[in-house]
Structure 1
Amino acid sequence: MKAAYIQNGKVETGTFDDPVPSKGQALVRTHSCGMCASEAHFLHAGQNVIDLSRQFGGPYAQLNFDRPFVPGHEYVGEVLDYGPGSERRVKVGRRVTSVPIMRAEGSHKVIGFSHECPGGFGELMLLDETMLLEVSDSLEDDLAAMIEPLAVGLEHARRGNPRPDDVPLVLGCGAIGLGVIAGLKLLGAGPIVAADFHPGRRELAIRMGADIAIDPRETDPYGPLPDLGARRVNLIYENVGQKGMLGRIVAAAPFDGRIVMGGYCMEEEAMFVFAAQNKRLNIQFAGGEEPQDMDLAMRAIADGRIDVRSWLGERIGISGVADAMAKMSGPEAPVRSVVDPRLL
């Protein structure tokens, strides 16, 4: 199969042996796959991510940075076949996505961050049949590829257990922050405050359901907000993942505030426990999506409750992956570029 792959911090293209499914595994031909910042992390910090997983336990511990792996965990594809003895839960020919985890045959791997389970930047994938979610016929491929990133935001939103009297603040309006906003809107939370440095992302936040979107360099997101009748935020969602964010949030959060940490910080964090205790803060660390979040994301996109079309940027083949990944951190970058590995 043809694929774009990462090896030693570089993006290359090449040919791999076609993967062969075992019991409980589906062989899937990729149609579309979103490009996530987590893939870009491996271009400059891949060995650090692997080392942290080996030190603290994590999904990347089995990766060898010197060996190629095919990334891509935001995918939709067509079921081609199953391994011997599989239950064959979804008919061959149907489109599927999944939580990007492989547990069949006693393994525990992350699709797209594994030498054995190539991701959606390649023509073929192996997926765990117990994780398969059959994709609605009404969803075009590129929108279906947004199910997984949206589901992460929905998971983070519900982890905060929003209440009717909350004023949520969403820090960072990339794909995950936008998904949090959409999730909060579905849960009836609000008014929702979004904060991001970039005007384009603030505009997207409003489109996803935020009531106000502010530049934190100009307006203190933790102070009385004039547009909300001087109300203050009390439920804070961190989606930036930079060192120092937790400490700054603890210092600024209100008494009895609640904090949901969704940003993926790979550096050691520091905070004053004294401040957190005195304010009686509750800090919740959010993880990845669960099947219920994937199902909700698909249904909400399909029935129009959440419109993710504005997330979509260019559609590229595997030869365009390196260039698109190099540009994805800029302020003008789309929320998601989409890879079709059937295209060169």
Structure 2
Amino acid sequence: MRAALFYGIEDMKVENIDEPTPNAGEILVDIAACGICGSDLHFYTEGLHGNAELPVTLGHEVGGTVIETGEDVDIEVGTDVVLSPHTPCMECWYCEDGLYNLCTNLNATSARPGGYAEKAVENADNAIVLPEGVSPEDAAIAQPVSVGLHAVRESPLGIGDSAMVVGAGPIGLGVIQFAKSAGAGPIYVSEPQESRREVAREFGADVVIDPTDEDPVERVREQTGTGVDVAFEAVGHQTTLNQAIESTRANGHTTVIGVFSDEVEISPQSLVGHQRSVSGSTSHQLGPRVTKEYNAVLRQLETGKLDADQYVTSRIDLEDVVDRGFETLLSEDSKERKILVCP
């Protein structure tokens, strides 16, 4: 079968590899789509962390159809599923306490070989069956949207609270979607890309700010008088992190979701002097609880409250994963939001 093999920084080629075979407790999935994630872009430009053996196949936002099962699997062949990409060890302190996304021995990408391939093997426990009417291709957006949902649930955001979302990429849009569903408002969004600002409005943002044209912190303070109750940082840069923190009122809170490549600086006095707090949110619920947040996203896809085409700007062939996928998303003038690789 065909798969994209990552050999090192900016070195990825689509080649023929052996088709994987499911073991007991595993399923073989014919991949309908795999989204290109920001973390994959980091790997592509900076390399993998640790001592990972190369080449590997990246990709973890996968929707597809079960075409073969190993022993002890109760999912039928022909079932459409979306895959959770992370497998907790079920043995560490965090797993014993039910905090599976914080597992100290987490297998972060458990699919073999990975999502940028025609087929992949995954643990059957990581497969969430799709409701009728939700295509496996559209369901590929469920993973990043679930990350946004998890961040909203981890934050102290309550009904009627004002919110600031810095960054309206796929995860930031998920935050907007579910902050609105949770009764938050007004919702402010800072995003430099015009097409993403437009979608942020469609998702329920009340005020959309272009940070290249005006200072988002000043705009928020001008309109609120004090700052927002809760902010979300969904970019992963020093500037946007400080903007998120400074946009909150005294005693406000910032939830950080962005993936940071470098160390950043903040002013501790901006926290101490205003009694602000900051916390992180990672991934989404995993293990025995994986269906809770995924199913919330899938229900919105099923009912039409969430439209995959609002997220997805391009659907490309596997052979085009480098030129039309990774390189396009890394281009400074790119207007893409989410690209799906459809083998």
Whether these two folds match at TM > 0.5 is yes
Aligned partner of 2:60 in structure 1 is 73
Structure 1 residue 13, shift from structure 2 partner: 0.7
Q: How does 1:88-103 map to 2 (within 5 A)?
A: 88-102=73-87
Aligned partner of 1:45 in structure 2 is 46
Structure 2 gap ranges (5+): 92-104
Give the AA of the match of 2:317: G
Give deviations 1:128-160, integer Å, cap 9, x for gaps: 211210012301233111111111111112222
The percentage of counterpart residues that share the same residue type is 26
Distance 1:15 1:208, change over 3 A: same
Give the distance between the partners of 1:225 and 1:249, measured in 2 at CA: 10
Asked whether the equivalents of residues 24 and 105 of structure 1 are also in contact (C-alpha less than 8 Å), the reply is no
Structure 1 residue 164, shift from structure 2 partner: 2.5
- Secondary structure at 1:256 match in 2: strand
Distance 1:127 1:39, change over 3 A: same
Distance 1:215 1:288, change over 3 A: same
Aligned partner of 1:282 in structure 2 is 277
Give the AA of the match of 1:259: T
Asked whether the equivalents of residues 145 and 297 of structure 2 are also in contact (C-alpha less than 8 Å), the reply is yes
Give deviations 1:207-244, integer Å, cap 9, x for gaps: 11111101124343334659957573231100110135
* 1:146 has 2:141 as partner: yes
Give the AA of the match of 1:69: V
Give the distance between the partners of 1:36 and 1:165, measured in 2 at CA: 32
Give deviations 1:249-276, integer Å, cap 9, x for gaps: 4455421010000000021222232331
TM-score (norm 1): 0.86
Give the distance between the partners of 2:45 and 2:221, measured in 1 at CA: 42
Distance 1:103 1:216, change over 3 A: closer
Q: How does 1:96-175 map to 2 (within 5 A)?
A: 96-102=81-87, 108-111=106-109, 117-175=112-170
Give the distance between the partners of 1:277 and 1:311, measured in 2 at CA: 38
Give deviations 1:21-76, integer Å, cap 9, x for gaps: 222211111111111122121121114xx04xxxxxxxxxx623xx1111111111
Distance 1:277 1:119, change over 3 A: same
Give the distance between the partners of 2:315 and 2:270, measured in 1 at CA: 47
Q: How does 1:177-326 map to 2 (within 5 A)?
A: 177-223=172-218, 225=220, 232-251=227-246, 253-290=248-285, 291=290, 292-323=292-323, 324-326=325-327
Give the distance between the partners of 1:32 and 1:222, measured in 2 at CA: 38
Aligned partner of 1:83 in structure 2 is 70
Asked whether the equivalents of residues 227 and 247 of structure 2 are also in contact (C-alpha less than 8 Å), the reply is no
Aligned length in residues = 322
Structure 1 residue 283, shift from structure 2 partner: 0.9
Structure 1 residue 108, shift from structure 2 partner: 4.3
Aligned partner of 1:8 in structure 2 is 8
Give the distance between the partners of 1:252 and 1:300, measured in 2 at CA: 30
Asked whether the equivalents of residues 208 and 307 of structure 1 are also in contact (C-alpha less than 8 Å), the reply is no
Give the distance between the partners of 1:273 and 1:321, measured in 2 at CA: 42
Asked whether the equivalents of residues 23 and 105 of structure 1 are also in contact (C-alpha less than 8 Å), the reply is no
Q: Which of 319, 338, 341 is the equivalent residue of 2:340?
A: 338
Bigger drift between 32-41 and 201-210 goes to 32-41
- Secondary structure at 2:228 match in 1: coil
TM-score (norm 2): 0.86
Give the distance between the partners of 1:252 and 1:188, measured in 2 at CA: 20
Give deviations 1:181-220, integer Å, cap 9, x for gaps: 0010111111111111122111110011111101124343
Give the distance between the partners of 2:45 and 2:26, measured in 1 at CA: 32
Give the distance between the partners of 2:222 and 2:247, measured in 1 at CA: 20
- Secondary structure at 1:6 match in 2: strand
Give the distance between the partners of 1:23 and 1:301, measured in 2 at CA: 31
